[in-house]
């Protein structure tokens, strides 16, 4: 039986998580960009750079559950899916239009084994480095929204949407 993806009009509904964590924060503000690390993964298409986990939204799941599922499958991390960073209308690899919803994911656990371990690499990097290596403009834009929220809140994360 095949997987059925959600559509809105003619747009495929996608989701992306920006997995993040804090480095040593003793004596520092949680909103300090230098104290935030984000997890990027390699694309399955060789030479296509680094990106945040993304995928389709299946009809039998909430968007937050879909975002967490893809993040576990592609990056091997689990955490709290937080409030949406927004949505972007993009073209996918087939040049079809997609509506992509972006979420922060405060990482609580990094798995040793995960479904796409043999086909992707994962790497914790600084926000500054992520700006340089992320292959999609809309992912970089969402990263800026996340960093600004964390800087404004300075309180250890964005309000949680769900604790999955």
Domain count, the chain: 1
Q: For residue 21, what are the domain limits?
A: 7-154
Report, as an integer, the average pLDDT of 14-23: 89
- Please indicate, yes or no, if residue 36 is contained in any of the structural domains: yes
- Please indicate, yes or no, if residue 143 is contained in any of the structural domains: yes
pLDDT in tens, 67-112: 999 999 999 999 999 999 999 988 766 777 778 889 999 999 999 9
Sign of the CA dihedral 78, 83, 85, 89?
A: positive
């Amino acid at each position: 039986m095949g997987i059925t993806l959600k559509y809105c009009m003619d747009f495929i509904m996608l989701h992306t998580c920006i997995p993040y964590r804090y480095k040593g924060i003793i004596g520092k503000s949680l909103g300090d960009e230098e104290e935030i690390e984000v997890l990027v993964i390699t694309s399955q298409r060789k030479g296509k750079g680094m990106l945040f986990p993304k995928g389709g939204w299946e009809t039998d799941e909430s968007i937050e559950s879909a975002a967490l599922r893809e993040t576990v499958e592609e990056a091997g991390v689990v955490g709290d899916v937080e409030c949406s960073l927004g949505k972007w209308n993009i073209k996918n690899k087939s040049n079809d239009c997609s509506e992509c919803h972006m979420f922060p994911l405060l990482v609580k656990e990094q798995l040793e084994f995960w479904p796409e371990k043999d086909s992707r690499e994962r790497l914790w990097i600084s926000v500054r480095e992520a700006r340089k290596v992320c292959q999609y403009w809309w992912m970089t834009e969402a990263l800026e929204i996340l960093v600004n929220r964390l800087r404004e809140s300075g309180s250890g994360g964005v309000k949680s949407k769900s604790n999955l």
